[in-house]
Structure 1
Amino acid sequence: MASTSYHYETMRTARALLAGAVLLLALCVGLVRPLVQAGVYGALGAAVLIVVTGAVCCLAVQHSLAAGWMFEHNVRRRFRAVCRERRLTTRDDRDNVVYPGLSRLIGNGAVLNARIRPLFGQSLADWERAAPAFALAYAVAAVRFRDNGDGSLTLLAGYQPLEAREFVMNEAEPVEGVDWRERLASVVVGTTEGGQPFALPFLDSHILIAGITGAGKGSVVWSAALALLPAAKAGVVRFWGIDPKRLELAMGRGFFGDRYANTDEQAVQLLERAAAEMLERAEGLAGHARRAEPSVLHPVNVLFIDELGYLSALMPDRKLRERAEKALSAILVLGRAAGFVVIGALQDPRKEVLNFRDLFPTAVAMRLRKPMVDLVLGAGMYEAGAVCDQIPPPKAGGAGVAFVVSEDSGIPVCVRFTWCPDDLIRKTAAELEPLAMRPQIAAN
């Protein structure tokens, strides 16, 4: 396809101009004959009118072509061809072929998205099965479809570049009278391809983050920590930090208070402490509630673990490694109902490195080699559009971009997590440190 940039609103303007030029041409044709019959001056006026009208029509056609008239034609032609071949059409009473609607087209030769109005009786699964055919027709690596929730779908072809956005602290966010369960179940941490806010669940879920070195795993971690700050200040969230690399979480040391570890022995002890507190809370709730409600009495404990693969498989001391795996497995299996959430980041998601990766309901895959994608997101996710190997390298602006799959949806969503400057992390950590040292209120 042509590489012309196209936007449906620009094309709408171009069509209006072209329609106006056609009307002007029709008016000109109606005026030429009377002018010619009026004599020499009339003939001269007719000639001028013809030249001006011709110039206006040429400009209108040129504008339409520049707006991507041929691009739109090619997109629609290929869309209809695939729909016919994949049996996504029907026939009306006169035996004419009826196609699904295609509108709001935006893109160019490398990437495009459009809104589809499926025919009655079609489902998202019907379109997902045709995704490889659409990808081949549009000459892109992958095509995926997103349910808009209003009876329409969004077609996403190719990799959609996302602009980096800095995290903006909302100091005026209210904390009084807040339904913390509702708030923590959906916390905005980035932006989707369509420019919509993207939220992650920090309640009743664990989050696995995988990506090569420099992919931007820290963007996910600090976007989460900063977005949860109002809840932390209210005493409804407590942060834990395990930092074997001693570099990532140390930037915000004050977030964690005495719940921070950066040596092998300390990391294992901290995990065991978290597991013990989790079991103690579960014992206190037994017979009274099926799950902990986020509150100052029962704060949500968010455990950030950098280099998760080191704890689970690469720690030199075998006994420490076994203790770490035992405590971490207990938290992953039992912690959700008790209000303990694990956010773990690693570079290598293979089973021999992390044999309990399936215990993370939410997965974030950043830049990865193709064979690693389905290991993180689930079988078939690369074919469904999670083309993590096509995310640009960190130096080319790909840091912080990821595909996310949650237990609520089996469709990978392309997201850019907010960029969190080091100065903001340090400043916030210094403000939070006195609060992070508060002892938990005993549950009596």
Structure 2
Amino acid sequence: MLRKLPGEEVRGLVSTTPDTAVVFRPAVVRTPAIITIVIFLWRVLAGLVMTVVRHPVAVALVALPSGIVSLFGWRVAVVATGLVCSLLSAWAALGYSSFMRSVAWPLLAFGRWFWVYRRHWMPVMTVAGLGRQIKGRDYMPRLIKVTCDGWADRVTVKLLHGQSDEDWADRTANLAHGFGAVSCRVEVERAGRVVLTFPRRDPLAVPLHARPIPAEPAVHSVEVGQCEDGSPYRLKVHGTHVLIAGATGAGKGSWLWSTIRGLLPAMRAGLVQIWALDPKRMELSFGRALFGARYAATPEQCADLLEAAVSVMQERADRFAGLQRSHTPTVDDPFVLVIVDEVAFLTAYQSDKQLRQRATAALATLTTQGRAVGVGVMAALQDPRKEVMSIRNLFPDKIALRLDESEQVDMVLGDGARDRGALADHISPVPELGAGVGYVRLETSPDPVRVRAAYVSDEDIRHMVIRYSGAGEAV
């Protein structure tokens, strides 16, 4: 008996009867030539339109000279080209930022799209396992667009149906090597689309000087450093708690002192109080005069100060109950920021079990109930293991500086953070290159942001003490 079988089923056919004949008769549908031509022309037209829409500057630079040559001859084209080049040079000299934004970066994006990403797209997707072949047909994620700025390429990709951003996050190393970049980060733009960020250079490789002290009091967020794209980074301090983790010499002091520096005018105005706990007696003690009586160094003093902060929090909660649900800093009820340097000494390494329990209980109470009434905690530590810092998940915002092991990245920032590009274990141990560099993961976003905090020198701290000594006593 003869049977018709689809092509793919014939390969898996096993017959135990020698004389059984298998006849493969594929169904052939002849498409009229006119339909093939129309489809081809439509695709060419759609491709041209999309190229013009996405790369107008590059298309104009090619189309206009060609049009002038065909209409007026090559002499007019040379004169026109020289005039345009002169105008562009003047624009670049007088308005460099707008020239780069409107002309240079779009041209670079077109070049990178054509020569790097589009040219290598199919082999990289295939080798990385992000393309699929189903019933003999290739399915590839679609390259939507490429944009460039001063430090990175951003590639927008439409995912295959059924893919997730985790599939791409697991292959960031493949993508980075495939397209000749040092790293790759994955961000979700919207459902079905991701943005791949490929850095071309590292703008955070140079240490930053201390940020200027704000002219006006700032409470909710303060400028502490710079993002990869060159924009200032403002760290939210009011209405949250911040955990900073990093190995020895990773630059935790840069984050602590940059935060304090940004809050100095608000401290003088009586809108902020900083309560400093310094178990090592090295980092915060240098500016002790800024904190006044709200400074603790010994384990007993630290436990007492933490419990005093809990008392302030509970007193406010009693007064605010039924009247307000959030805190607004005022002179009567200032924002209280409890800064703890090397918190692990209080929660894990302290030999006195009673003091250890008191400190842990007070920190747990502050981090679970404090931010609604204007009491925040900023804690720094070296070892992020759970047995060392059992309440690390109570900190909504986390910062990972240089870490010793790749597993520690997810301990600090949460599961999947390293796959999304938070390579904190790859930060350089050389102070000039990596001190203060870290990845910030906020409560409101799963995508880590790479930031470098400004270095606040001893001379800067002395100046702060001279100018703002006693500001911590403001009520």
Corresponding position of 2:17: none
Corresponding position of 2:168: 130
Report the residue type matching 1:102 in the other structure.
K
Corresponding position of 2:10: none
Q: Distance in 1 between matches of 2:303 and 2:385?
A: 22
Q: Deviations over 1:143-193 (max 9, x none)?
A: 2134679x99653236962333212324533x5xxxxxxx64433222111
Corresponding position of 1:397: 433
Equivalent of residue 144 in structure 2, options 82, 94, 101: 101
Q: Distance in 2 between matches of 1:320 and 1:346?
A: 18
Contact kept, 8 Å, 1:307 with 1:344, in 2: the verdict is: yes
2:198 matches 1:157 = yes
Q: Deviations over 1:100-150 (max 9, x none)?
A: 33323469xxx952242758x999x8445323445313316752134679x
Larger Rg: 2
2:154 matches 1:114 = yes
Q: Distance in 1 between matches of 2:255 and 2:339?
A: 11
Q: Distance in 1 between matches of 2:226 and 2:259?
A: 13
Contact kept, 8 Å, 2:410 with 2:416, in 1: the verdict is: yes
Corresponding position of 2:51: none
Give matches, 1:197-208, under 5 Å: 197-208=232-243
Change (3 A) 1:338 1:129: same
3-state secondary structure, aligned to 1:103: strand
Contact kept, 8 Å, 2:254 with 2:453, in 1: the verdict is: yes
Report the residue type matching 1:371 in the other structure.
E
Q: Distance in 1 between matches of 2:246 and 2:200?
A: 17
3-state secondary structure, aligned to 2:327: coil
Q: Distance in 2 between matches of 1:379 and 1:231?
A: 36
Contact kept, 8 Å, 1:204 with 1:339, in 2: the verdict is: yes
Corresponding position of 2:94: none
TM-score normalised per structure 2: 0.69
TM-score normalised per structure 1: 0.73
Report the residue type matching 1:354 in the other structure.
M
Change (3 A) 1:98 1:301: closer
2:387 matches 1:349 = no
Q: Distance in 1 between matches of 2:141 and 2:387?
A: 52
Corresponding position of 2:212: 169
Change (3 A) 1:251 1:16: farther
2:287 matches 1:287 = no
Change (3 A) 1:134 1:315: closer
Q: Distance in 2 between matches of 1:381 and 1:159?
A: 21
What 5-or-longer segments of structure 1 have no aligned partner?
1-10, 32-66, 89-94, 176-182
Task: Give % identity.
Answer: 36
Corresponding position of 1:73: 115
Corresponding position of 1:86: 130
Q: CA deviation at 1:419?
A: 1.7
Report the residue type matching 1:116 in the other structure.
T
Q: CA deviation at 1:355?
A: 0.5
Q: Deviations over 1:49-85 (max 9, x none)?
A: xxxxxxxxxxxxxxxxxx9968961333234555676
- Let me know the Cα RMSD of the aligned residues: 3.8
Q: Distance in 2 between matches of 1:388 and 1:98?
A: 29
2:298 matches 1:257 = no
Q: CA deviation at 1:266?
A: 1.1
Corresponding position of 2:465: 429
3-state secondary structure, aligned to 2:387: coil
3-state secondary structure, aligned to 1:101: strand
Q: CA deviation at 1:287?
A: 2.4
Q: Distance in 1 between matches of 2:149 and 2:416?
A: 27
Report the residue type matching 2:421 in the other structure.
G
Q: CA deviation at 1:385?
A: 0.7
Contact kept, 8 Å, 1:209 with 1:363, in 2: the verdict is: yes
Q: Distance in 2 between matches of 1:317 and 1:159?
A: 51
2:282 matches 1:247 = yes
Q: Deviations over 1:176-231 (max 9, x none)?
A: xxxxxxx6443322211111222222122110000000000011111111112222
Q: Distance in 2 between matches of 1:23 and 1:134?
A: 43
Of stretches 427-436 and 133-142 in structure 1, the one that deviates more from structure 2 is 133-142
Q: Deviations over 1:274-327 (max 9, x none)?
A: 111111121122222223221111111001100110000001111111111111
Q: Distance in 2 between matches of 1:169 and 1:70?
A: 37
Report the residue type matching 2:120 in the other structure.
R
Change (3 A) 1:275 1:414: same
Q: Distance in 1 between matches of 2:415 and 2:375?
A: 27
Report the residue type matching 1:166 in the other structure.
H
Q: Deviations over 1:207-263 (max 9, x none)?
A: 000000000001111111111222212111100100011110012112211000111
3-state secondary structure, aligned to 1:284: helix
Report the residue type matching 2:198 in the other structure.
A
Q: Distance in 2 between matches of 1:387 and 1:355?
A: 23
3-state secondary structure, aligned to 1:291: coil
Contact kept, 8 Å, 1:83 with 1:99, in 2: the verdict is: no
Corresponding position of 1:367: 402
Q: Distance in 2 between matches of 1:299 and 1:355?
A: 29
Contact kept, 8 Å, 1:209 with 1:365, in 2: the verdict is: yes
Give matches, 1:186-201, under 5 Å: 186-201=221-236
Report the residue type matching 2:247 in the other structure.
I
Corresponding position of 1:43: none
Q: Distance in 1 between matches of 2:148 and 2:223?
A: 27
Q: CA deviation at 1:420?
A: 1.4
Q: Deviations over 1:21-71 (max 9, x none)?
A: 9899999x989xxxxxxxxxxxxxxxxxxxxxxxxxxxxxxxxxxx99689
Corresponding position of 2:8: none
2:186 matches 1:145 = yes
What 5-or-longer segments of structure 2 have no aligned partner?
1-54, 76-107, 133-137
Report the residue type matching 2:156 in the other structure.
I
Q: Distance in 2 between matches of 1:430 and 1:16?
A: 59
Q: Distance in 1 between matches of 2:325 and 2:113?
A: 56
Change (3 A) 1:381 1:161: same
Contact kept, 8 Å, 2:172 with 2:185, in 1: the verdict is: no
Change (3 A) 1:81 1:328: same
Report the residue type matching 2:256 in the other structure.
V
2:333 matches 1:298 = yes
3-state secondary structure, aligned to 1:228: helix
Contact kept, 8 Å, 1:80 with 1:99, in 2: the verdict is: no
Contact kept, 8 Å, 1:237 with 1:300, in 2: the verdict is: yes
3-state secondary structure, aligned to 2:339: strand
